[in-house]
C-alpha cells in the first residue's frame, strides 16, 4: 500500500474560538480516491478549509501533514505550490479578471515562473476539450454570470491545468443537473491516477455513482464515525445517517438508481 500523502491525526479545528472538529483521523494515499460523507454541519467543509489554509479555521490540536510536511507551518500559497488543491463548493466571482488571465497567473505561481503565452494557450485548449469547457469562456470574467455547472467545470479545469498531487473536492456535485454532474465526474476520472490523491466531500451519494471511491469515510459531529469500502455509500443511500444520530438522507431528493 502506498504511503499516505495526506495524514491527519487527532485533528481539532476551531472557527472564531468555536470548536468544530474534535479529533479527526484520516489517511489518504496518493493515487487513491476517498469520499468523505456526512450530514450538514458534521464538519466536512471545515476540514477542507482548514487543510487549504483558510485563516478563519484554526488548528488547535493534533496534526495534518502533506507529504510529510506540517500543514500548520505552511501558508495557503505554499500548500498550493506543494501540490494541494481545493475545489470550492461555492466558487467566487472575480469581476475584471478573465478566466484566461486567472489560470495563466495561477499556473505561473505554482510553477514559480511565467508560462509563455503560446505554451499556455496550447495547454488550455487541450484541457478545455477534455472537459467540454467552451473556449469562448476564456475571455469572460472569472465565474461572472456562469451557471453552477460552468463554475464547477471551471474548478476541474483549474485542477487539470495545475496538476496537483492531491485534490480536495468540496461538494463539487452541489447544485448540478445530471448532465453537468457527468461532465465533472468524467473530468475527475480522466485526471485520476497514481500521481493524484482525491478527497471527495459530499452530502449525497449521487456523485459516487460516476466516481467510484476506493474508501468511504463518514463524518459526524466533527469526527470520523465510520470507514469502509464503496459499499458503505450504498448502505448510506438506503439507510441515510440515522444510525449516526441524524435524520438526514444520503440520497438526493427524487434520486433513484
The DSSP element (H or E) to which 214 belongs, if any, is none
pLDDT tens-digit readout, 24-82: 999 999 899 999 999 999 999 999 999 999 999 999 999 999 999 999 999 999 999 99
pTM of this structure = 0.91
Rounded CA gap, 156 and 227, in Å? 26
Rounded alpha-carbon distances, angstroms, from residue 205 to 35, 52, 216, 247, 252? 9, 24, 10, 16, 8
Residue with cell 489554509: 53
Max distance between CA atoms of the chain, in angstroms, equals: 55
Strand-strand pairing, 197-202 and 223-228 = unpaired
The CATH superfamily of 4-97+163-244 is P-loop containing nucleotide triphosphate hydrolases (3.40.50.300)
For the chain, domain boundaries? 4-97+163-244
Q: What is the pLDDT of residue 2?
A: 62
Give all strands (DSSP E) within the chain, no chain letters: 4-15, 18-29, 33-37, 57-66, 69-70, 84-87, 94-98, 141-142, 166-170, 197-202, 215-220, 223-228
Q: Read off the C-alpha cell for 172.
A: 463539487
Q: What is the pLDDT of residue 208?
A: 93
Rounded alpha-carbon distances, angstroms, from residue 181 to 140, 206, 222? 22, 9, 28
pLDDT tens-digit readout, 178-237: 888 888 898 889 888 899 999 999 988 999 999 999 999 999 999 999 999 999 999 999
Amino acid at each position: 500500500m502506498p504511503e499516505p500523502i495526506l495524514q491527519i491525526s487527532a485533528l481539532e479545528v476551531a472557527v472564531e474560538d468555536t470548536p468544530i472538529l474534535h479529533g479527526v483521523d484520516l489517511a489518504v494515499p496518493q493515487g487513491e480516491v476517498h469520499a468523505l460523507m456526512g450530514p450538514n454541519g458534521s464538519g466536512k467543509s471545515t476540514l477542507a478549509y482548514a487543510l487549504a489554509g483558510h485563516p478563519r479555521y484554526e488548528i488547535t490540536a493534533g496534526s495534518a501533514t502533506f507529504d510529510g510536511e506540517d500543514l500548520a507551518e505552511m501558508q495557503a500559497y505554499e500548500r498550493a505550490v506543494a501540490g494541494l488543491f481545493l475545489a470550492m463548493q461555492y466558487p467566487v466571482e472575480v469581476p475584471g479578471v478573465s478566466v484566461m488571465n486567472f489560470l495563466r497567473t495561477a499556473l505561473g505561481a505554482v510553477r514559480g515562473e511565467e508560462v509563455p503565452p503560446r505554451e499556455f494557450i496550447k495547454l488550455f485548449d487541450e484541457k478545455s476539450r477534455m472537459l467540454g469547457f467552451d473556449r469562448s469562456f476564456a475571455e469572460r470574467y472569472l465565474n461572472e454570470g456562469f451557471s453552477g455547472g460552468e463554475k464547477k467545470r471551471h474548478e476541474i479545469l483549474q485542477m487539470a491545468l495545475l496538476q496537483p498531487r492531491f485534490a480536495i473536492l468540496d461538494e463539487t456535485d452541489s447544485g448540478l443537473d445530471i448532465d453537468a454532474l457527468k461532465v465533472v465526474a468524467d473530468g475527475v476520472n480522466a485526471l485520476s491516477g497514481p500521481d493524484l490523491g482525491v478527497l471527495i466531500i459530499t452530502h449525497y451519494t449521487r456523485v459516487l455513482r460516476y466516481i467510484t471511491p476506493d474508501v468511504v469515510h463518514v463524518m459526524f459531529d466533527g469526527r470520523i464515525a465510520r470507514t469502509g469500502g464503496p459499499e458503505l455509500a450504498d448502505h448510506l443511500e438506503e439507510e441515510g445517517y440515522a444510525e449516526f444520530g441524524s435524520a438526514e438522507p444520503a440520497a438526493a431528493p427524487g434520486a433513484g438508481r
